[in-house]
A = this chain, B = another copy of it.
């Protein structure tokens, strides 16, 4: 289903998404045309979802990284849908995962400073169904990658 050459291509593209096809082919030990054909099929079959530029949060005024655990009121079944909808409307929420365990949602945020974080907390408390939140500011990013193990 996925040859060793394909994996090598994906591994390289995870690190250098804008590498030229020539360079990619050279590193994989094949011709550009063969490499391009593999690449085309990988994208067609859904292995590659897209490409993204990785920006520097600090340079762009978003140095604060914060995780927030959110617990909802379980009064109605629509609460989860409404909360998820509200999350999509807030760009500072980079990630939002519904989890099994002691709480309902785990949020990942990028923020300029503590003041804007304070304002966000009041907005969060007003979002539909929110009963309780616990915040965890990130002190040090030991590992922060988009790369999957292959």
Contacts and interface: CB of A to CB of B under 8 A. Distances in A.
Interface string A135-150: 1111111111111111
Contacts of A87: 142-143
B88 A59 contact: no
Contacts of A146: 52, 54, 94, 146
Contacts of A92: 149
A134 interface: yes
Copies in the complex: 2
A48 B52 contact: no
Give the interface residue-count category, chain A.
35 or more
A56 B93 CA distance: 21
Contacts of A141: 95-98
Contacts of A53: 10, 13-14, 17, 48, 50-51
Interface of A: 2, 10, 13-18, 45-57, 59-60, 62, 65, 67, 84, 87-88, 91-103, 105-106, 110, 134-150
A102 B115 CA distance: 22
